[in-house]
Chains A and B, each alone.
Chain A
Amino acid sequence: MQRYIARRALESLLALWVMSLVVFTLARFTGNPLDVMLPLEATPEDYARVAKHWGLDQPLYTQYAIFITRALQGDFGMSWKWPGRTAMGLVAERLPATLQLAGFALLISVLIALPVGVLSAVKKGTGWDAGAKVIALLGQSLPGFWLGIVLMWIFAVHLGWFPTSGQGGIQYMILPAITLGWFQVAAMMRLVRSSMLEVLDTEFVKLTRIKGLSEWKVVWKHCLRNAGIAPLTYFAIIAGVLMTGSVVTESVFSWPGTGLLVIDAVRARDFQVVQAVVIVFAGIFIFTNLLVDILYAYLDPRIRLR
């Protein structure tokens, strides 16, 4: 077991290191940040001066060496689009907003997927089933930003139920969370449905029915038990998708999370911030996977012994 954990941990670190290389190179492909930073008036001397200040005049491998040694200590450098702020500081500041949105979106999609999935399973093959499938699939078929803008116009401007954008209390989160979360409803619903179907056919349930317990009691008892039905790995993927999918949603609703941060940073060619965000995201994803694998190994001896 120990060996397994050690091996997986090492592999994860390796993956993270490769990510750092990839993002370092890719970021620099976007071009010269000096073109963004300096005004039209800038002369070649101005370019040289600012390049020197930010260490951009050094050869690439030197820049990478500096980057990686500092990164290992948690220092991702200073942002140059947001002067005076550290790259990691910016990510740390914006990450809670994105996590919050993703978490809420996940909650909403579970709240929708659960009853719809149960209904669909219980009334399998009927119009209810078909209808439920279509509703869930609708979420997977709408372009996210279009949905967001339409929701904003209907509920915020015309009906005035929610604010249009920004961050504040829960009411600011609802429209963006629906926009973000609806996409996942279909997949979750399908899982709930198939799991419920499996269960509804078992001898145990048939026995309970024969015993005379109410149909609905049986259904709901099992439904609650399966509330967290999404297998662990799928959960990790959902989280990843939600976090990256939030870029579009954050843009429409001006939600100050990491998605918006990344767009601004890429546009401004702020390598430090881009690197920080990508590595943090990748780190979270890789770490979650690691955790999941270890837990699976713990729960399922066959894997350990492989």
Chain B
Amino acid sequence: MRRNTFVVLMLCAVVAVALVAGAVLTPASAQGQRLVFASAGFEDNNRFWMISRPDHIQYDPFLETLLDVDPKTGEYVPRLAEKWSVSADLTEYTFHLRKNVPFHFGYGPFTAKDVVHSHAMMMRPEATATLAGFWRQVEEVKAVNDHQVVFRFKRPTTVMPYAASRAGDLRIVSKAQWDKEGDAGFDKRPAGTGSYRYVGRQQGLSITFERVDNHWKGERPAYKELVFRIAREDATRLALLLAGEAHVGDLPRELQKDAVKKGMKIHSSTFAVDWMTVYLGGQYYMPGDTAFKPDVAWTKKPVRQALNMGINRKELLNTAFAGRGSMAYVTGWNEQSEGYNPEWKSRFDQMYGFNPAKAKDLLKQAGYGPGQLKFKIIAFTEPGESEGPQVAEALGIYYKDIGVETEIEVLDWAKVRDMFRKKTIQCCIWPNIISWRPAEEWVRISYYSKSPNHHYENEFIDKQYDLLRNAIRPADRQRIARTIGDHLFDEFADIPLFWFSNEVVANPKMVAEWTYPGSGAGRSTHWHLIKPGK
């Protein structure tokens, strides 16, 4: 009897605590004009020097950069820097800064000291931002005067305008705030210069911004309040959109159709932003490389070509991506890249086009009859990129048709990366979606033998890359970049699939028009350009 009474009391206590906690934790609901974006998730944190480029979406409304990306042309245009110039040897970049730009929360005007400070944040030992490595190549950042700053690099580079723009990750923050409040104050409420300012976060749930009245450029977003909601489940984001709890959302292509049926509209970025390629492991062709295993089938070029010709790209695009994408001809290159060669497009069908009969032939010539070639396809998912396993399974089905046996292994991304960094991925091929980078950067990361990622390396590429990174004249750079691209194309270095624009789905009453380039860090950028419906 005492036992039962006790249990009753305990239960009541639990319930009471629960309900009280609920009341206490209820945040104030906001009134007024509010736009809610349902995002698949990002590393929510204010320390931008530790956050990867795609997750910089959370800074786009309130933290600005030296240069902007024009939403229609994709060019790097002035923003916090009025104009900039580069020395003849491409090692010194001078930025002339705009005057009378106020920081939020009264931390004073923007000056060159803030640029130096922001770069210093990037140089912290724990900095893991996408371009942190690039920023470490800066030998010196000097504030010549209050409105002029010079970046001097150890070696020539053309990447700086990209890195200093909205497409990069150097967010300009206030030195005055950091002097006064340190990291703690910055974590709590970072001051920026954007047309929105930071209001607050609910960790793992949302981040809220509110419109500023005195933006230096006079940008005036249509919505007073902007909220980014994190909902990692695709079905949940769709539910949020359809229930009207969110007005813009990031949906996989499969679900975009359903949203459109219910009256939503798709807003595409102006430019293609990401590409998908299937990488073939184990292509270490530097002489003397012990990681090279000659029994890996695709070290023979005909096999690589066969693996390309076995895939019906049009069908794959239509089924896995609802037809929303364009063909990729060489991994990492599109029309915006240095060294893009229009001939790739015209030659693509003949060399890479869907031809199962020819693929089987090539395999037989290489010594692989039906059923003799077996390998693994690795699939992984990242939030917002759920098509990986589906593509892997589709590949399995295509390859079965040309007599190749595959097995799908689902790993997590970090594990896959570990494998190709350590050169232990000879067993497998894996599809991956990567964001656009300048050609030189892409080659450095993936094809240069001293790169961390070793997707495909040989002496020829190494030589060309050395030439490229020291080349100063644009004509030279175009030529060398094209040579590298041609080589990758002719050698069937991997299996390029598609280029994708960034696409968000929105309620037309809330978002009638939105032009954004897609190349901005975070993909969905330029929130101030949203025009509401009538």
A/B touching: CB–CB < 8 A: yes
Show the binding face of A for B, using Cβ within 8 Å: 31-33, 35-44, 46, 49-50, 52-54, 80-84, 90, 93-94, 96-97, 99-100, 102-104, 106-107, 110, 149, 152-153, 156-157, 160, 163-170, 173, 225-232, 235, 251-254, 256, 260-261, 264, 267, 269, 295, 299
Closest Cβ of chain A to B463, distance in Å, is 20
- Please determine whether A106 and B126 come into contact, CB atoms closer than 8 angstroms: no
B interface: dominant SS: helix
A50 to B50 CA separation, bound complex (whole angstroms): 11
Stretch at the interface among B18-26, B315-323, B387-395, B486-494: B18-26
Residues of B within 8 A of A251 (CB): 232-233
Q: Do B126 and A50 touch across chains, with their CB atoms under 8 A apart?
A: yes
Q: Are the C-beta atoms of A35 and B8 separated by less than 8 Å?
A: no
- The answer to whether B14 and A163 touch across the interface, beta carbons within 8 angstroms, is no
Q: Is B407 an interface residue (CB 8 A)?
A: no
Query: Which are the 3 A-B pairs with shortest beta-carbon distances?
Result: A103-B18, A228-B7, A228-B8
Binds A, one of B127-135, B263-271, B336-344, B519-527: B127-135
18 A-B pairs whose Cβ atoms sit less than 8 Å apart in the complex: A41-B452, A43-B452, A44-B452, A46-B128, A82-B43, A83-B126, A94-B204, A99-B21, A157-B242, A166-B205, A168-B26, A168-B29, A169-B23, A227-B4, A235-B10, A251-B232, A252-B235, A254-B233
Chain A residues with Cβ below 8 Å from B235 are 149, 152-153, 252
Chain A residues with CB under 8 Å of B183's CB are: 84
Contact A167 B25 (CB under 8 A): yes
Beyond A44-B452, A103-B17, whether A31 also contacts B240 by CB under 8 A is no
Bound form: Cα–Cα A151–B2 in Å: 39
- Which residues in A have their C-beta under 8 angstroms from that of B445? 40-41
CB contacts (< 8 Å) of A54 on chain B: these are 126
| B205→A43 contact, CB < 8 A | no
Structural contact, B21 and A107, CB atoms closer than 8 A: no
Supposing A53-B125, A256-B205 touch, asked if A168 and B4 sit within 8 A by C-beta, the answer is: no
Nearest-Cβ distance from residue B88 to partner chain A, whole angstroms: 27
Say yes or no: A99 contacts B239, CB within 8 Å: no
Interface string of B1-42 (1 = CB under 8 A from A): 011111111110011011101110111010000000000000
Chain B residues with Cβ below 8 Å from A31 are 414-415, 418
Q: Beyond the given A82-B45, A165-B231, could you list 13 further A-B residue pairs with CB under 8 A, ordered by the A residue number?
A: A31-B418, A35-B414, A40-B445, A84-B47, A90-B203, A99-B21, A104-B22, A107-B18, A152-B236, A164-B239, A170-B19, A228-B10, A231-B7
In chain B, what residue has the closest Cβ to A79?
B45
A81-B43, A100-B25, A107-B18 are known contacts. Are A254 and B236 too (CB-CB below 8 A)? yes
Q: Which of A37, A107, A228 contacts B128 (CB 8 A)?
A: A37
Chain B residues closer than 8 Å to A167, beta-carbon distance: 25, 202, 205
Query: Which residues of B have CB within 8 Å of A269?
Result: 414
Q: From A32, A156, A166, A173, give the contact of B22 (CB < 8 A).
A: A173
Q: Name the B residues within 8 Å of A103 (CB-CB).
A: 14-15, 17-18
> Is B171's CB within 8 Å of the partner chain A?
no
Contacts A97-B25, A106-B14, A254-B233 given: A46-B132 contact, CB under 8 Å? yes
- Interface range, B side: 35 or more
* Beta-carbon nearest neighbor of A298 in chain B: B2
User: A230 vs B10: C-alpha distance in the bound complex, in angstroms?
Assistant: 11
> With contacts A41-B445, A96-B25, A167-B25 known, is A228 near B11, CB below 8 A?
yes
Is B75 close to A, CB under 8 A? Answer: no
> Given A41-B131, A49-B125, A164-B236, is A232 in contact with B7 using a C-beta cutoff of 8 Å?
yes
**CA separation between A165 and B206, bound complex, in Å?**
12
Nearest residue (CB) in A for B419 is: A35
Instruction: Assess the A39–B130 pair: CB atoms within 8 A.
Output: yes
Chain B residues closer than 8 Å to A100, beta-carbon distance? 17-18, 21-22, 25
B245 within 8 A of A: yes
Which of B6, B205, B444 has the most C-beta atoms of chain A within 10 angstroms of its own C-beta?
B205
A41 to chain B, nearest CB (A): 5
Report the Cα distance A218→B2, complex, angstroms.
20
Q: Are A42 and B418 in contact (CB under 8 A)?
A: no
Q: Is the CB of B45 within 8 A of A299?
A: no
Within 8 A of A (CB), among B214-244: 229-233, 235-236, 239-240, 242-243
Q: Which residues of B contact A52 (CB under 8 A)?
A: 125
